[in-house]
A and B are shown apart, each in its own frame.
Chain A
Amino acid sequence: MTALTRAPRGNGAEHRTPSRGRRSWTGYLLLLPGALWLALFFAVPIGSLISTSLYDPSGTLETGYRMAFELGNYTDAIRTYATEIWRSLWYAGLATVFALLLGYPLAYAIAFKAGRWKNLLLVLVIAPFFTSFLIRTLSWKLILADNGVVVDTLNFLHLPIPNGRLLDTSVAVVTGLTYNFLPFMVLPLYASLEKIDHRLIEAAGDLYASPFQGFRKVTLPLSMPGVVAGTLLTFIPAAGDFINKELLGSPQQTMIGNRIQGLFESGSYPAAAALSVTLMVLIVVMVIAYIRRAGTEDLL
């Protein structure tokens, strides 16, 4: 859809330009510095990561590493860290679902109910971003602490808490992940909801659709590009995150990010690189499958 709305404007820009041949070179020239930067510090490093993942794992930082095309690094990494891999995908999936459930009503309210408060509310959604990510995550330590507000409230209501505490449990880690990436969900949702033509929803009402039917048959399908973009922007960083586990969890919540970081810190570069590439490949495969299923390939 975006591609369709964009195309005519782009063509207009082209018609305006006097000499097309020279212009196309200008395009390359403008693109070049940034593209070089990304090539050097994004593409080349990924290549370097892949080649590191095939090094002889017995090498160290002092003795140097030898290329051995050691595919065993991958089978080792996957076998050793299968639990952490599954746990990361599971936590990230949970956080994405929660973020969608929380983010959709908020984005919907901003897009359809906020009126002139729209911009203010959008600022409020991104405002928490401006304090440090780490400090915000730390603050959940106080909120979820053993004698903190949440635990006290749950106790007061006689609601059961597994193991009697929230901090250092998977509940805390998933809460932190949901919290940290929620704005990434709200913003694309808002962007696609805001574009919806209100007359379509009114038409559904005129044709005797209940508000719920109208939402399910009109609003929700039209907001799908936002849902897809939001879930991706939440899931991807959440799957690779290691901060929430480190600050809010215990060793039982170790995620793949923590293992990658730990392996790099201890100098086991080939194993760390293999695990890192595994995470990347898993995410790419899942993202492609998801986009295919959701039928929004024009999203990029």
Chain B
Amino acid sequence: MNAALVRTGRWITEHLILFVALMVLLYLFLPIFVVVLMSFDDTADLGYQFSGFTWANWTDPCAPFGLCSALTTSLQIGLLATIGATVLGTLMAFALVRHRFRGRGMANVGIFLPMASPEIVLGSSLLALFVSAGFSGQLGFATILVAHIMFTLSFVVVTVKARLVGLDGRLEQAAMDLYANEWQTFWRITFPLVFPGILGAALLAFSLSFDDYIVTSFTAGQTETFPLFVWGSARREIPPQINVIGTVMFLISVLLVVALELWRRRGQRPAA
């Protein structure tokens, strides 16, 4: 009797958890369905309502004035910020995991701080700096780029660090035992093993930069990025074409992540 009670209790908790988890996933995906649906909406309006079906947004996503130039700006900034943050961040991750030096603990905390600050503090402090440096007239592409490298850097460091820490040091030892010098060991063993982590960090940096509104709004001046365009249109009327961009971004990133995962698995198999 008691055992049966425990068993039913266990069954309920096990399946209840799965059910709740599925509902939460649904909650996470609900807005994605809406974005895909709205990409077929036929009128721009303030309320973000579906009024009728059309293919037109997909055949001409650049129709709203300024949308595609804002998109281009965002892609350029995203790409440059990704390169900058990935290079700087990877170097820092190597320093923190592979080298002992005075102040290492402090450096770890220092890198954590920008991630722990609300974006509005990051953005407003940069603006305060630019204004007191007499730079308020020149806000634009360069200042956005500087800001994006700053706030994506910590995320890159943390991601690459995680990969480096999980690395089996014996592989490098083996290479050195087989008379590879430090340089060869690094490029033939260490770097290929860390590379998936670097690539993941780069993807993360790009999506953070591409998607950022808050910090960008403080450092942009007259320059318009894609999120700034969306924000501006949300105050007038929202062109349905932005949902086409949202859907395409979603599809590209999911494909990239899946490809990366498949590639990672293929790389693991011979080792196993």
Interface residues of A (CB under 8 A from B): 6, 9-10, 12-14, 16, 18, 20, 23-24, 26-31, 33-35, 37-38, 41-42, 44-46, 48-49, 51-52, 61, 65, 102-103, 105-106, 108-110, 113, 119, 121, 123-143, 145, 179, 182-183, 210-212, 232, 236-237, 239-243, 246-247, 257, 260-261, 264, 269, 272-273, 276, 279-280, 283, 287, 300
User: Which of chain A's residues have a CB closer than 8 A to the CB of B252?
Assistant: 130
What is the CA–CA distance of A20 and B253 in the complex, to the nearest angstrom?
42
* In the complex, B63 has a CB within 8 A of chain A: no
* In the complex, B116 has a CB within 8 A of chain A: yes
Give the one of A46, A211, A212, A243 with max B CB within 10 A.
Answer: A46
User: Which of chain B's residues have a CB closer than 8 A to the CB of A106?
Assistant: 20-21, 24-25
Instruction: Identify 11 new A-B residue pairs, CB closer than 8 A, beyond the known A30-B92, A242-B214.
Output: A20-B100, A30-B95, A31-B92, A35-B107, A45-B129, A128-B29, A135-B242, A138-B238, A240-B118, A257-B214, A273-B128
B232 CB → nearest A CB, Å: 10
Secondary structure type dominating chain A contacts? helix
Q: Provide the B7-28 mask, 1 if CB < 8 A to any CB of A, else 0.
A: 0011001100110110011011
CB-based contact A119/B120 at 8 Å: no
Contact with B128, one of A12, A49, A132 (Cβ below 8 angstroms): A49
B101 CB → nearest A CB, Å: 4
User: Which of chain A's residues have a CB closer than 8 A to the CB of B126?
Assistant: 41, 45
CB-based contact B28/A128 at 8 Å: yes
Known: A113-B14, A264-B127. A283 touches B89 (CB 8 A): no
CB-based contact B257/A127 at 8 Å: yes
Contact with B150, one of A30, A38, A242 (Cβ below 8 angstroms): A38
CB-based contact B25/A124 at 8 Å: yes
What is the CA–CA distance of A18 and B226 in the complex, to the nearest angstrom?
50
A91 CB → nearest B CB, Å: 13
B160 CB → nearest A CB, Å: 11
CB-based contact A48/B132 at 8 Å: yes
CB-based contact B18/A139 at 8 Å: no
Can you list 9 A-B pairs, Cβ within 8 angstroms, ordered by A? Answer: A24-B99, A31-B92, A35-B110, A49-B124, A128-B32, A131-B31, A142-B49, A242-B120, A300-B112
Contact with A243, one of B109, B147, B173, B214 (Cβ below 8 angstroms): B214
CB-based contact A132/B211 at 8 Å: yes
CB-based contact A240/B120 at 8 Å: yes
Interface size on B, residues (CB 8 A): 100
User: Which of chain B's residues have a CB closer than 8 A to the CB of A108?
Assistant: 17, 21
Give the one of A20, A23, A45, A243 with max B CB within 10 A.
Answer: A45
Known: A106-B21, A210-B9. A138 touches B48 (CB 8 A): yes
CB-based contact B89/A49 at 8 Å: no
* In the complex, B172 has a CB within 8 A of chain A: yes
User: Which of chain B's residues have a CB closer than 8 A to the CB of A129?
Assistant: 207, 211
Contact with A136, one of B31, B118, B149, B153 (Cβ below 8 angstroms): B31
CB-based contact B243/A135 at 8 Å: yes
* In the complex, B220 has a CB within 8 A of chain A: no
CB-based contact B88/A132 at 8 Å: no
Contact with A37, one of B124, B150, B257 (Cβ below 8 angstroms): B150
User: Which of chain B's residues have a CB closer than 8 A to the CB of A133?
Assistant: 211, 213, 227
A246 CB → nearest B CB, Å: 8
Chain B residues numbered 144-200 whose CB sits less than 8 Å from any CB in chain A: 146-147, 149-150, 153-154, 157, 165, 169, 172-173, 176, 182
Contact with B50, one of A142, A182, A261, A272 (Cβ below 8 angstroms): A142
Interface residues of B (CB under 8 A from A): 6, 9-10, 13-14, 17-18, 20-21, 24-25, 27-32, 34-35, 38, 47-50, 88-89, 91-92, 94-101, 104, 107-114, 116-122, 124-129, 131-132, 136, 146-147, 149-150, 153-154, 157, 165, 169, 172-173, 176, 182, 207, 210-211, 213-214, 217-218, 226-227, 230-231, 234, 238, 242-243, 245-247, 249-250, 252-254, 257-258, 261
CB-based contact B153/A26 at 8 Å: no
Give the one of A26, A34, A41, A46 with max B CB within 10 A.
Answer: A34
Contact with A261, one of B28, B107, B120, B227 (Cβ below 8 angstroms): B120
Known: A210-B9, A242-B214, A279-B120. A27 touches B254 (CB 8 A): no
User: Which of chain B's residues have a CB closer than 8 A to the CB of A27?
Assistant: 95, 98-101, 104
Closest B residue to A215 using CB positions: B13
CB-based contact B128/A269 at 8 Å: yes
B222 CB → nearest A CB, Å: 14
Known: A16-B176, A132-B227. A113 touches B165 (CB 8 A): no
User: Which of chain B's residues have a CB closer than 8 A to the CB of A132?
Assistant: 210-211, 226-227, 230, 242, 245-246, 249
CB-based contact B207/A42 at 8 Å: no
What is the CA–CA distance of A161 and B216 in the complex, to the nearest angstrom?
37
A46 CB → nearest B CB, Å: 5
